[in-house]
Amino acid sequence: MANLKELAGKKELFTGGHRLCAGCGIPPIVRLVLRSTDANLVASTATGCLEVGTTIYPYSSWRIPWIHSAFENSAATISGVETAYRALKKRGRIPADKETKFIAFGGDGGTYDIGLQSLSGALERGHDFLYLCYDNGAYMNTGIQRSSATPMGSNTTTSPAGEVIPGKEEWRKDLTRIVVAHNVPYAAQASPHNWKDLEKKAAKALAIKGPTFLNVMSPCPLGWYSKPEDSIQLAKLSTDTCYWPLYEVEDGVMKVTYKPREKKPIEDWLKPQGRFKHLFKPGGDVIIEKIQAQIDREWERLLDLEGRQIF
């Protein structure tokens, strides 16, 4: 694991000047992950905020070979690239000592939903790549529509809080657990506020042979109706409330990598976000209690699984 000075001294592979929003969690996530290895890198990116914000023709923020795939097939695209690389290496077209690692990026819409089949297939086939999902909890790039990653109670343009429904009525999908069920060698959850934990997990994921997965909390001021300067604090609160627990599953063994000294109530994370403001009006406390109960159950489940072989 590199220290902050070493990371800062590495070549910048993801440049500034992109059009991603102020306070967006994506840039620090991508910059840190690309700095976490000394290997040559090739990336694919599904349609989404990361793609449209970094590759407005004729400009690009990427200083590595990069491919834009469709919304649904970032994992399939990088699978093809990785397979071609192995074939060329086998034929002597690429030096045997040349190490290249492959990363697919996708938002929660392009991962939890539209890209799930593509991701599942790539994991099952055992391609040597890292898939990183930047999870901001909705289809932010196309108008803040709900996704299966959207938290319960969240107001979105397709789950509008009002007289008919109190925001999204379903609990979010646990994608990391679904990936773990594919028996991959490594899967983890991380957050950009904890750079040391994220860098360590990214370095580990890229060093492991076979399919690996990172699900990273990515604050979105536009869709969360929050202040840009609060993004990193909101990322931290997501872990301190255990809404977004930090853990890893390596070779089937569960390890919780961060345990808050004082587990904070979920209200602390919900209140600064305008998408939950209706929950702090009369009647909203029922939904908050429901969210809190679910978080408590999931956190206890994780603690119970720690140190155990779960597959």
- In the beta sheet, which residues pair with residue 66? 43
Residue 108: how many other CB atoms lie within 10 Å: 27
Q: What is the pLDDT of residue 19?
A: 95
Q: Measuring CA to CA, how many Å separate 247 from each of 237, 250, 289, 306?
A: 16, 10, 25, 9
Residue 310 lies in a domain: no
Percent of the chain whose pLDDT exceeds 70: 100
pLDDT exceeds cutoff 90 at 8? no
pLDDT exceeds cutoff 80 at 32? yes
Residue 68 lies in a domain: yes
Can you read off the two tokens belonging to residue 145? 């529509």
Give the residue numbers spanning the domain of 161: 4-305
Of 259, 239, 108, 124, nearest to 173 (Cα)? 108
Q: What is the pLDDT of residue 258?
A: 98
pLDDT tens string 132-146: 999 999 999 999 999
Whole-number average pLDDT of the chain: 96
CATH number at residue 265: 3.40.50.970
Mean pLDDT of 21-45: 97
Contacts 24+ apart (CB under 8 A), 176-179: 176/213, 176/215, 178/116, 179/119, 179/123, 179/213, 179/215
Distance CA 184, CA 31 (A): 25
- The sign of the dihedral angle between the CA atoms of 25, 31, 35, 39 is positive
Residue 42 and residue 64 in contact, taking contact as beta carbons nearer than 8 Å:
yes
Mean pLDDT of 33-59: 96
Distance CA 258, CA 242 (A): 10
Q: What is the pLDDT of residue 311?
A: 83
- The sign of the dihedral angle between the CA atoms of 278, 264, 133, 311 is negative
pLDDT tens string 250-304: 999 999 999 999 999 999 999 999 999 999 999 999 999 999 999 999 999 999 9
pLDDT exceeds cutoff 90 at 202? yes
Q: What is the pLDDT of residue 96?
A: 81
Mean pLDDT of 215-228: 98
The larger pLDDT score, comparing residue 2 to residue 202, is at: 202
Distance CA 42, CA 207 (A): 14
Mean pLDDT of 70-99: 93
pLDDT tens string 148-189: 999 999 999 999 999 999 999 999 999 999 999 999 999 999
Residue 311 lies in a domain: no
Can you read off the two tokens belonging to residue 193? 């506020």
Q: How far is CA 170 from the centre of its chain?
A: 20
pLDDT exceeds cutoff 90 at 63? yes
Helix (H) or strand (E) holding 68: strand 66-68
Of 98, 102, 101, 120, nearest to 111 (Cα)? 120
Mean pLDDT of 216-223: 98
**Domains in the chain, number:** 1
Q: What is the pLDDT of residue 188?
A: 98
Residue 257 is classified by DSSP as: -
Residue whose structure tokens are 């539209």: 114
